[in-house]
Structure 1
Amino acid sequence: MAKTSPPLGWLRTFESAGRNLSFTLAAEELRMTQSAVSQQIRSLESRLGCQLFLRKHRSVSLTDEGRRLLPDITQAISQLQSATAAFEQPEHADLLTVATSVSVAQWYLVPRLQQFMDLHPRARIRIMTTVWPDEFADVSADIQIRFGAKENQRHPEKALGRNRLILVASPQLFKKQKIAQLNINNINRFPLIQAVGTTDTWANCAGKFGLSGHQPPAINADSHGLAVDFAKAGAGVALTSELISLPALADGSLQRVHKKTLPAVNGYFMSITPHSPNPLAADFTDWLNAKVETLQAETA
């Protein structure tokens, strides 16, 4: 019985890791987790009966066997790609995968994504949402929109909008208490709302807004998007992200309680994943940045 060849996926993973001399870059290029790359390389080495990489603390290098194998595998994969290129359906290249925080999906993509689709009628989009930054570790996407501190971002990124904190509330709160305008002097008459999981809390920010002796927050939401939802429903005054508040400020369902803004420790950052082959990725990031800039101008 003829001996079968190793799975093509293992060989493709070896080629990428060998060309990049990095399991991390291979994982990004192939949209796999780094642990999956390591597992496939180990499986291939076991199948061939030889070691292909020398593992060091922060790097890898090819063994003599790996250097002999790499050119042939690279050539074979190139021939396979050339042979199948003419048969690929055009729309497959237009599948754009966006991994994003729930808040950005909720307040920006759901109401506006059709506008992008109208500009790119052949495009197909996959939206994957996360709440916490570490959930991006196992996500493969063309675009990532992450929430967190800038120094914790993995890829070269650009802040989406202005990373600032503001105080917002529904106009319904004014009517409920029969006051002309909600301001810092009467804010303690209302429940306070905040997003948890960050240091941008009422405890750390109230004094900077000029509020002393504030009550503990009545509502703790797991995202800025949810905090904005509560504020929009008239549940209280929210300390929240300016970016996520912009759509509700623009349509009048929220109002600023204070003109002052504070720089946020955590914000939203958008990046195109290195080695993403999708030409729509740049179009999407340009489109979303333009939408944010328009809302900023409308609510200035």
Structure 2
Amino acid sequence: MTKSLPPLGWLRSFEAAARHLSFTMAAEEIGLTQSAISQQVKSLEMRLGVQLFVRHARGLALTDAGRRLLPEVGAPLQALANAMVGMDTRPSRHLLTVAASISVAHWIIAPRLPGFRARFPDVEVRILSAIWPDDFHTTRADVEIRFGSGKQAGPEAQAIRPNGLVAIKAPTLHGPISDLPRIETVGTSSGWQAWSRQVEPLPGPSIYTDTYGMALHLAVHGNGVALVNEWMTRDAIRTGLVDRAHPASIPSQEGYYLSVTTDKPEADAFRALILQ
């Protein structure tokens, strides 16, 4: 049986860090924080069962395993980027293109899309999955919703609030957080360890995922308590899919940022809908 592949994001973080021999420079290229890159590379090392980097005070050095892996990862990533060039050939008339992660599309865009379609029935909406900066560069979207820091999003991007992390769980799940399984989103700078320092000490998480959207989905189905970006939880809480497991929230170094790159009136209307 074919062994399952690690998440593409982990491979992308490794490839950038290996080229630059720096988690910091890889973070600037990709659009994540340095700690997020470091966590994703560590997750990849744990998945593969080998050490890919030797960490020095002044930078990184590839191990033999890392040197073997780099060309095997770099070539397919470049091939994917090349394949996307020139693929967007459809006319832009009466078409609104939105670039966002699958998590944002699932938990934010989908609940609001019927209202937008009712107001603009003649506008076609195309939603493209985008995570990395290269994804946004090649999509030429009218509306972009990025995850990262303000510096990475750019000066024209609007920060989406609220931006803290909140603990959520299914309404059927009862008991204090300390007695329930905890779901961790790896690749972000804040998590249950930060919660333990700032709110209440807790044992470590027992379920791991790599997106807030998946963490929220796991919580909806009663798998435990997830720390999720508060903006992403709004509709799920409003519709009763999840409850707050604790009234506190903790700050996050990363967040979601919205940009409108066109003067189409429907793009401004879509932005207002997303921010409401």
TM-score (norm 2): 0.63
Tell me, yes or no, if structure 1 residue 113 matches structure 2 residue 113.
yes
Preserved contact between residue 94 and residue 122 of structure 1 (Cα < 8 Å): yes
Counterpart position of 1:200: 190
Gaps of 5+ in 1: 1-34, 40-90, 175-181, 291-300
1:165/1:142 CA distance change after superposition, 3 Å = same
Distance in 2 (CA, whole Å) between partners of 1:265 and 1:133 is 18
Whole-Å separation in 1 of the counterparts to 2:170 and 2:97: 34
Q: Is the 8 A contact 1:94 1:280 kept in 2?
A: no
The Cα of 1:279 is off from its aligned counterpart by: 2.9
Counterpart residue number, 2:270: 284
Q: 1:149 is aligned with what amino acid?
A: S
Amino acid at match of 2:199: F
Instruction: Give the conservation status (yes or no) of the 8 Å contact 1:99–1:130.
Output: yes
Distance 2:130 2:186 in 1: 15
**TM-score of the aligned structures, taking structure 1 as reference length:** 0.58
Verify: 1:157 aligned to 2:145, yes or no.
Answer: no
Deviation at 1:155, TM superposition (A): 5.2
SS of residue in 2 equivalent to 1:188: helix
The SS at the match of 2:246 is: coil
Amino acid at match of 2:233: S
Q: Equivalent residue for 2:208? A: 220
Query: SS in structure 1 opposite 2:167?
Result: strand
Give the distance between the partners of 2:205 and 2:131, measured in 1 at CA. 21
**Do 1:201 and 1:239's aligned partners in 2 also have CA atoms closer than 8 Å?**
yes
User: Which amino acid is the alignment partner of residue 229 of structure 2?
Assistant: S
How far did residue 134 of structure 1 move?
A: 5.3
Q: How much has 1:205 moved relative to structure 2?
A: 2.7
Letter in 1 for 2:255: G
Residue among 259, 271, 276 paired with 2:259? 271
Q: Which structure 2 residues correspond to residues 1-300 of structure 1 after superposition, within 5 A?
A: 92-132=92-132, 135-154=135-154, 156-174=156-174, 182=175, 186-210=176-200, 212=201, 214-273=202-261, 276-290=262-276
Distance 1:216 1:135, change over 3 A: farther
Q: CA contact under 8 A between 1:131 and 1:223: conserved in structure 2? A: no
Q: Which whole-Å CA distance do the structure 1 matches of 2:206 and 2:269 have between them?
A: 41
Percent of residue pairs bearing the same amino acid type: 33
Distance 2:106 2:124 in 1: 19
Shift of residue 144, structure 1, vs aligned partner: 0.5
Amino acid at match of 2:237: L
User: Alignment RMSD, CA only?
Assistant: 2.4
1:123-162 deviation digits (Å, cap 9, x = unpaired): 1111001245554343311110001111211351112231
The 3-state SS of whatever aligns with 2:223 is: coil
Tell me how many residue pairs correspond in the alignment.
Answer: 190
Gaps of 5+ in 2: 1-80, 86-90
Please list the CA deviations of residues 92-145 of structure 1 after superposition, one character each: whole Å capped at 9, or x if unmatched: 522111101221100122222121011011111110012455543433111100
Instruction: Name the CA shift for 1:92/1:239 in 2 (closer, same or farther; >3 Å).
Output: closer
Deviation of residue 215 (structure 1)? 2.5
1:99, 1:139 within 8 Å by CA — same for their partners in 2?
Answer: yes
Name the residue aligned to 1:67: none
Q: Which residue of 1 aligns with 2:29?
A: none
8 Å contact kept, 1:195–1:220: yes
Deviations 1:24-46 (A, max 9, x none): xxxxxxxxxxx99xx9xxxxxxx
Deviations 1:228-266 (A, max 9, x none): 110110000111111111111111221111111122211
- Structure 1 residue 277 displacement after superposition: 4.5
